[in-house]
A and B are shown apart, each in its own frame.
Chain A
């Protein structure tokens, strides 16, 4: 790879030197302008304004560039599929994926057509001496067409997008599992609401010793809360997350679930989704197998251990020097396994000996 780069550097420099050399071959010309003053200029045959030959060459280069650009787009669209995120692992994310597909088809088609027109016109109408450009300054019909069509298409996209946005951000409903996700430089913690499914108050002013999330231990709702260091979620049940941060902005990003929300100090933010597959089921998904194979190919070449798929929570808002390594594993499992795991965890009451 680097060799290729050095090669290009060498080529670029060679061209540069050649051209600079050309610049230096200017002839010195003494001009006489009005008042008998003399000026000295340097001239050579290089015409700084495009000639017919230039127009011809550059026009053709635009056509070649178009073909190259199409190849690049095609390559990325086809061969980079392996590295993409798999289909959504949350039920709410299905609509997301749907809207995503529609939007991408749409912008893809527009991209292919407009780029083709642009570069093809550049090629087709490259300047030739003696031809006249067409004086064509205005057309209300055309203007109307390309104002109306985008308006209609965008109206549809806006309406569909907003209906999904409303669904995703609607967190009403009683039987959702309530989980607090707590961010700090540079780790995640979490707290389950416990039997009463209500979280006790929290504030950084309560942080002391093992109470690292600042749970208000005087709040009756706190005693059955369950502080944890790993997230377990039951499949098929809606989970509502409440996010807090103790120091700077963080962003809780769970890409496989199409979920993200900032964690803001001094404020509680929220987001929710319903996991669709357990971690085990997800590992059997076609997309995931493909992605894992793609990762393991690289890891094998580097001599690293094989990678196994896990859901992740990452920080996606710049939060300090170690921002790049702020993650928490998420395990999605059957409701039975989830409850077993949850019962093994200590409640705040047990942890802090209330």
Chain B
């Protein structure tokens, strides 16, 4: 290859880059922009639900006039639109692409010892499809009748009929187009991750020497490949119903004074197809977060992760079970009750590997030498919210108990804690931990501490009381609760929750300031700032193509040899960590 081929132009380096490290940064920044939009939306609708009749200058400023009543209060269908787009953006654009896209791209080649992803082109394509789908989703906010507003689950017929809600017109069309492209990017990305992990591991990097992060990202990619295509077909059939007059989901509908020409379809079919992705999606979001935390907790505890093989086993068990539990979202959908029994059984089984994971994390802390870097704080926060949110899953997964809490705020509290807050914590932990690898500089520690503590207080302040208003029977997705005197005494709780939400929202500014300032002004990172064992810390601080300037290092041990001592109780290599590239000492047993 001649010399000038190596020279990178601005376009090939920063825009259509094939380098996995650059692509991961592109994913992260796009995900963060989407995150800001998603969080802002939640603050707007929290204001509405807490003070329903009041107008707020912030709402008047952010919402176009046609989305407001004369008194400056948001309209009911716009409330639903905000709820819908908040859910879509947070689940797919932030926690799927932003989290898994960022860290799969950054860490897979670095931690397994590969020069780059198996296909740099597919990787680049994956990001740009993600970018296009993000743009379409954002554009949909500005269409005349408002964006999609049938809930992030877009159940037809509501999502299929513009007569039923204005957002089901152009807004919904754009939503479907955006999601179709999103699914394509996710599949392309996932296939690339799987192929890379299976084929490009460096010498000595057996599957049982992979860091748990790799295992989590690997299994996540597999679940994605298995389940995302089903959502694609669900969306495709919905497009057919909406645009070409087919009746896959629609039947016997009378709306706007006339009978529509649909017969024989069933919305329950859509629910099955949707949740066949929708439930595994929870784990697509959560497993990467758990994977990142495993690494961070072990490193900062200066201890091996407890039960490495059990952790791999539980990741696999969770992944397998996650594909056969989707019916627990549909206990009261009109589905055969016997089918409900089966789904109750499989759903509650998933609590077992989850419990194993939680206990293993706690045991990892036990007798550790905990280094409270910001990443570690967020990781401990994740374990806490994962337990709190996970336990209420035992209520919701039980078909009998689900009857009365289904679609109430109890559900909202449950999934926000177990997959929302937990996954966001995992993402923050990952950013604080791998920021030096991404940008070659360190993030500010004190701002990190401030960010964590305000966020932790706000998260429980919002979502813990939320369980109780759900148990009081308050349905979710109500524009206002003032039409039911029954719920009048919940208004105070709702206001307190909103205040905590606003505090939590403001705390994220601290993070954004820290993030962008540190890119330019952060302290220059050393090669292995956290004294970690994994391969990514053997690469130079300044990014080079192919990751390692010379040979790719060989791996001789698992990634968790922290505080390993010999018979005399002395560290084997004099330090409390032994990198994977260090060969076994004579007489040393492999852990």
Contact = CB atoms under 8 A, between A and B. Distances in A.
B486 A1 contact: no
Contacts of A266: 250-253, 263-267
Interface in A57-87: 58-59, 61-62, 65, 68-69, 72-73, 76, 80, 82-85
B475 A253 contact: yes
A265 B493 contact: no
Q: Which of B264, B303, B518 is packed against the most chain A CB atoms within 10 Å?
A: B303
Contact of A48 (B304, B489, B491, B522): B522
A251 B529 contact: no
B559 to A, nearest CB: 12
B306 interface: yes
Contact of A127 (B340, B352, B369, B468): B369
A321 B529 contact: no
B310 A143 contact: yes
Given A264-B333, A318-B151, A325-B483, A249 B157 contact: yes
Interface string A1-16: 1101100110011011
A352 interface: no
A16 B513 contact: yes
A82 B489 contact: yes
B61 interface: no
B546 interface: no
A147 interface: yes
Given A46-B444, A316-B407, A307 B488 contact: yes
B356 A267 contact: no
B483 A96 contact: no
Interface stretch (A227-235, A255-263, A335-343): A255-263
Contact of A118 (B150, B264, B356, B384): B384
B337 interface: yes
A255 B473 contact: yes
Given A43-B523, A127-B370, A264 B464 contact: no
B369 A133 contact: yes
B337 A169 contact: yes
A247 B253 contact: yes
Interface in A308-352: 312, 314-325, 327
A16 B509 contact: yes
A185 B483 contact: no
Contacts of A316: 406-408, 475
Contact of B576 (A99, A133, A138, A264): A133
Contact of B252 (A128, A265, A317): A265
Interface in B330-384: 332-334, 337, 340-341, 344-345, 348-349, 351-352, 355-356, 358-359, 361-363, 365-373, 376-377, 380, 383-384
- Please tell me the size bucket of the interface on B: 35 or more
A164 interface: yes
B232 interface: no
A148 B445 CA distance: 41
B362 A162 contact: no
Given A85-B473, A103-B395, A125-B368, A46 B251 contact: no
B492 interface: yes
B464 A118 contact: no
Contacts of B352: 147, 150-151, 154
A261 to B, nearest CB: 5
A298 B332 contact: no
A203 B264 CA distance: 13
B95 interface: no
B340 A165 contact: yes
B365 A122 contact: yes
Nearest to A2: B499
Interface in B44-61: none
A274 to B, nearest CB: 15
B101 to A, nearest CB: 26
Interface in B252-274: 252-255, 259, 263-268
B15 interface: no
Interface of A (DSSP majority class): helix
Contacts of A197: none
Given A50-B372, A165-B337, A314-B484, A4 B499 contact: yes
A122 B370 contact: yes
A200 interface: no
B523 A42 contact: yes
B465 interface: yes
B489 A161 contact: no
Contacts of B136: none
B301 interface: yes
A125 B513 contact: no
Contacts of B406: 251, 260, 316
Contact of A185 (B156, B255, B471): B255
A137 interface: yes
A317 B80 CA distance: 12
Nearest to A207: B254
A206 B267 CA distance: 21
A133 B368 contact: yes
Interface string A141-165: 0110011001100100110011011
B502 interface: yes
Interface stretch (A18-26, A173-181, A216-224, A278-286): A18-26
A134 B563 contact: yes
Given A42-B521, A50-B371, A161 B365 contact: no
B485 interface: yes
Contacts of B477: 318, 323
Nearest to A40: B524
A287 to B, nearest CB: 12
A295 B502 contact: no
Contacts of A304: 485, 488
Interface stretch (B30-38, B187-195, B446-454): B446-454
Contacts of A85: 404, 471-473
Given A15-B450, A249-B155, A321-B165, A259 B400 contact: no
Given A137-B308, A318-B150, 11 more contacts: A48-B442, A48-B522, A55-B371, A72-B464, A80-B465, A127-B370, A133-B562, A134-B563, A138-B307, A143-B307, A150-B356
Interface of A: 1-2, 4-5, 8-9, 12-13, 15-16, 19-20, 22-24, 26, 41-44, 46-50, 54-55, 58-59, 61-62, 65, 68-69, 72-73, 76, 80, 82-85, 95-96, 99-100, 103-104, 106-107, 110-111, 114-115, 117-119, 121-122, 125-128, 131-139, 142-143, 146-147, 150-151, 154, 157-158, 161-162, 164-166, 168-169, 184-185, 203-205, 207, 214, 243, 246-249, 251, 253, 255-256, 258-262, 264-267, 269, 271, 291, 294-295, 297-299, 302, 304, 307, 312, 314-325, 327
- Of all A-B residue pairs in the complex, the 5 with the closest CB atoms, nearest first, are A266-B251, A48-B442, A255-B473, A58-B372, A169-B337
24 contacts: A5-B499, A5-B503, A46-B445, A49-B442, A68-B457, A85-B472, A118-B384, A121-B362, A122-B365, A133-B369, A138-B308, A142-B307, A147-B355, A147-B356, A161-B401, A162-B345, A207-B254, A243-B334, A246-B252, A266-B252, A266-B263, A295-B486, A316-B408, A321-B479
